[in-house]
Structure 1
Amino acid sequence: MTLNPLQKPLMAAALALLSACATRAPDAVPGQRHSTQALLAYQPADFHWQATQAEVEQAQRTRDLRLLHERLALPPGHAAQAALPDILSAVLLYNTDIDAARGPTLAALPGLTAQTGEAQRSVLSGVYAFYAAEAAPLLWPLLPQLHTPREFAIAAYTLLKPLTAEVRPAAAVQIQTLMQAQFPTWQNEPRLRALGRVLQDSPGSTSPPLAELLAAPLRPGFPVVFSLQRPGREVLGLAILRGSDGRFVRTPDGHLFQVPQLARALAHLPGTITLGDTPQGIFAVRGASTASNPTIGPTPFLETKLPIEASVAEFFQVDGSDLDWSEGLYAGLLPPSWRHWEPIKEAWLAGRAGRDEILMHGSVVNPAYYRNAPYYPATPTAGCLTSPEQWDPTTGRLRASGQLQLAQAFASAFAQGPGANGDPMVKGYLVMVELPGNAARRFIPVSEAEVREVVDEAERRLGGR
């Protein structure tokens, strides 16, 4: 399935809620969770979001941009500094006024350590997204003053981002030396461990066989969403579904069930960083709910949980467990060839770093904000996985939704396996992985044609067990 470009789906922006994928239901259905049977019964027209109506979205955008411009016009001083995180949130969301925010953002860097950690994160994330090259002269002297791993890592990634292959190794050595001096136990800190892999330029050019990952037993009998993404997350990836019987779900005409899916964050930071891209690795699926975040909308999301965010019992889909979380416990879910592949452990590190609420959801954000982006008509998020949706700009009714299709296919697969006993909460797994490939494929959306052969191989492996 490939959704057509959205025709002016619209949104209500609330900058205060942009920073996380909140899991409370909207006012119309407070606290709503969706049972397996309820998911299967929904139709797109059952969902309405007033803020997708053209006049409502336009009015909200006008108010937000007026506030943005008022904040940008503040004279240098405490008020302007305090407004900068909200300024950058609006710039990221609406993809506008990037040049206007450059001066205030760069001016804030020399005194950034006097701000709270959250303010530092917000400013550094904006710098990473938009101003990496011009910020470098200010970031090098700032780096030794950053004594929290998250902010140090964001600044380091920002310094590396614009460098060419010729000068990057020397900069990496300099950052590595500083990191080891400031954080002697850096290898035990999840964000710094991930940074260290990048600094050592050893992400691994050849990943283990993808078919072995697609055939990973995980917890046999539970459905698994495999989200296949390009390195760089510049284009739409593809979500496919392995059913409870171990076979990949197909349509009546024999094609793989598939939903376009984007795993890119607004700031586009690595996955161990707060509000960064969706990390690679294994997540547990623990139910379906409706979100309050106005960029998500009412379509049921699949609640995915990282290790540690989910208890061992939740992650392994059992009633209880006396085990404590460990890297070995997480790696034991992977096939042997993948257990030492560091990128697939990003979800484990992200969980240790405290990331949470990384969901599979729809979107009521107007994709026109990102019309020139290669991932259009999808919309980036606060770190979740999102599928394009079509909303009627006149009525605010949902026309079509890849997310609803995914949630319903997952519910159907669960109902044919562990859910056959009437369990009302859908359960299973998500595996997020970047596909191997050369740079020439970076801007080509993931397609069924390129993964069909490896899916067939995975099924042969599963059938041989």
Structure 2
Amino acid sequence: MGLGQGRRTLAGWGLVAALVGGGAAGAVAPLGQPQEQATGVARQAQRQKEQARIRPAAFDLARFPLTEAHETHWRRLLWAVTVLNPPDAYIPPALEQILAQAGRPQPTAVETRVITQTLQLVHQWLSRNPQGYPELVAGLRGIVATSPHPRWVALASLTLVRSGQAAPRQLQATIQQRFPTPTGLLEVTLREVLAPAANAPVTPPPLADLLRWSVAPGEPHLYVFCRPDRWVLCQAILKDRQGQFVTTAGRLWSVPLLTQSIYGLDWAFTYGQTPQGLYRLEGLTPPREAALFRAYGQFPMVKLFLPFEAGVQAFLPGRPGPLTGSLADYEVLVPPTWRGYRPLHQSYWAGRLGRGLLRIHGMGDDPSFFSRPAEAATQAWNPALGCLTALEAYDAQGNLQDAHMPILLDALRQVGGDTGYVWVVEVPPAPGEAGRPVSLETLAAAVGQAQLAQTPGR
């Protein structure tokens, strides 16, 4: 199926406006018009507001105890530190004081949320500078050794291993001694994230087998091919309801997406990387209020559903409700040559653990607002909280200069994609490809092999 070249321009605004409908009070400006929150003045004011939150007195637990009255203070403060990554020396000791609260046997709901957010932030900091924060490492070791809360032990263990501060086997022995029969996130962390088998290098089965396969007949399939380094852009390609791959101007249609978590957490964790595996695509979000513009941009979001996730009308056509059952039941939906390929199990386990609300969306924030590793390959796309991010760029007057959500939404409309499936798959780079997305030439070759094969998909 071919799309016209004009579809890759901003001329698709009219179409998207029709999908979204008229604006409401408090909604973002109509599509194609300047967005006030994207102007240079507004963005500078936002940065200054976040910077003003970060000061030594703000971390005083005596002045701001972890109570309901101060929860908003702490949540906003920790988010500002996450986004801006300030180098101030007083911050790590202040964070360690919060980590020290993780040993309480019965934390309040507020304490639970603030300590969890602190652990997520600490993971980000140590993943970028493993040797720079010994007090945070000590705090994490204390949690693994003494905290009675499995979720925090899982978060602390992940950070220690990923930052090179502890060996997986050593931590597994400690955890299994403290929690002989772990469940939930701690169990999955030990088995699917930290176990040697889960970290062994793997080569994906033939891409052509995945591209030829259909989860359900007559459903579009969006394939998102990523690198293990999620700061490298992913390439998304689309198959229509008849099993034909969408093209534009004689080339394979594609749109780049970023699947990097701002915290850098593994896929099993809330706000972690976008899990590999299968998702149900089902509908778009309605128009959003202006308060959400910075996070998601001005365009409607594509709704994705993991296995077990509530809210889906029918993960499988004709079967109302979410996909449930065993891993073997999930693997029935996977091409035979990909069954047993461990990375594709991630979406199953993530959904079973309660992850959800993953979306494909744009971005209203200035990309320079977000700190990122110096070696990060992508500077124009914003990291997210587990979602897939499409480019959305503005000039200093708030005028939209480029956007990829209209391209994606237009393509989905043309293939009747109000429902469908999404595959997220990592493809390790070949020698010489490090830091570069999966090439369209590689994907076109795999599509050609899939089309040549005569064996029908499921």
TM range (shorter): 0.7 to 0.9
Cα displacement (A) at 1:150:
2.7
SS in structure 1 at match of 2:453? helix
Kindly provide the CA deviation profile for residues 287-321 of structure 1, in whole angstroms up to 9, marking residues without a partner as x: 01144533112211100111111478611133637
Identity of aligned residues (%): 28
Alignment partners' CA distance in 2, 1:400 and 1:281? 29
Alignment partners' CA distance in 2, 1:105 and 1:322? 39
User: Which of 61, 86, 89 lines up with 2:76 in the alignment?
Assistant: 86
Cα displacement (A) at 1:441:
3.7
Alignment partners' CA distance in 2, 1:276 and 1:446? 22
SS in structure 2 at match of 1:111? helix
Asked if residue 212 in structure 1 is aligned to residue 209 in structure 2, the reply is yes
Alignment partners' CA distance in 2, 1:173 and 1:380? 31
Aligned match of 2:184: 189
- Higher RCO, 1 or 2 (CA under 8 Å, sep at least 6)? 1
TM-score by length of 2: 0.81
Aligned match of 1:155: 156
1:292-307 matches, within 5 Å, as 292=289, 293=292, 294-307=294-307
Cα displacement (A) at 1:325:
3.4
2:91 counterpart letter in structure 1: A
Alignment partners' CA distance in 2, 1:277 and 1:262? 10
Alignment partners' CA distance in 2, 1:31 and 1:317? 36
Q: 1:192 to 1:440 in 2, by over 3 A?
A: farther
Asked if residue 63 in structure 1 is aligned to residue 49 in structure 2, the reply is yes
Q: Unaligned 5+ residue runs, structure 1?
A: 5-24, 33-43, 416-425
SS in structure 1 at match of 2:122? helix
Moved more, 453-462 or 338-347: 453-462
Alignment partners' CA distance in 1, 2:279 and 2:337? 19
SS in structure 1 at match of 2:251? coil
SS in structure 1 at match of 2:54? helix
Cα displacement (A) at 1:191:
5.2
| Equivalent residues of 2:231, 2:259 under 8 A apart | no
Number of residue pairs matched? 413
Aligned match of 1:363: 363
Q: 1:162 to 1:190 in 2, by over 3 A?
A: closer
Aligned match of 2:437: 445
SS in structure 2 at match of 1:409? helix
Alignment partners' CA distance in 2, 1:111 and 1:322? 37
Aligned match of 2:379: 376
| Equivalent residues of 1:91, 1:97 under 8 A apart | no
Moved more, 406-415 or 113-122: 113-122
Asked if residue 267 in structure 1 is aligned to residue 263 in structure 2, the reply is yes
2:241 counterpart letter in structure 1: S
Kindly provide the CA deviation profile for residues 224-255 of structure 1, in whole angstroms up to 9, marking residues without a partner as x: 11111110312111111111111211112x21
Cα displacement (A) at 1:408:
1.4
Q: Unaligned 5+ residue runs, structure 2?
A: 9-19
SS in structure 2 at match of 1:202? helix
Alignment partners' CA distance in 2, 1:93 and 1:28? 30
Aligned match of 1:200: 195
Q: 1:316 to 1:452 in 2, by over 3 A?
A: same
Asked if residue 409 in structure 1 is aligned to residue 401 in structure 2, the reply is no
1:379 counterpart letter in structure 2: N
2:361 counterpart letter in structure 1: H
Alignment partners' CA distance in 2, 1:214 and 1:31? 42
Alignment partners' CA distance in 2, 1:180 and 1:299? 47
Aligned match of 2:115: 120
Cα displacement (A) at 1:55:
1.3
2:163 counterpart letter in structure 1: P
User: Which of 449, 453, 456 lines up with 1:461 in the alignment?
Assistant: 453
| Equivalent residues of 1:361, 1:385 under 8 A apart | yes
Aligned match of 1:387: 390
User: Which of 87, 91, 94 lines up with 1:104 in the alignment?
Assistant: 94
Q: 1:243 to 1:96 in 2, by over 3 A?
A: farther
| Equivalent residues of 2:227, 2:438 under 8 A apart | yes
1:134-173 matches, within 5 Å, as 134=134, 135-163=136-164, 171-173=167-169
SS in structure 2 at match of 1:177? helix
Moved more, 72-81 or 109-118: 72-81
Cα displacement (A) at 1:389:
1.1
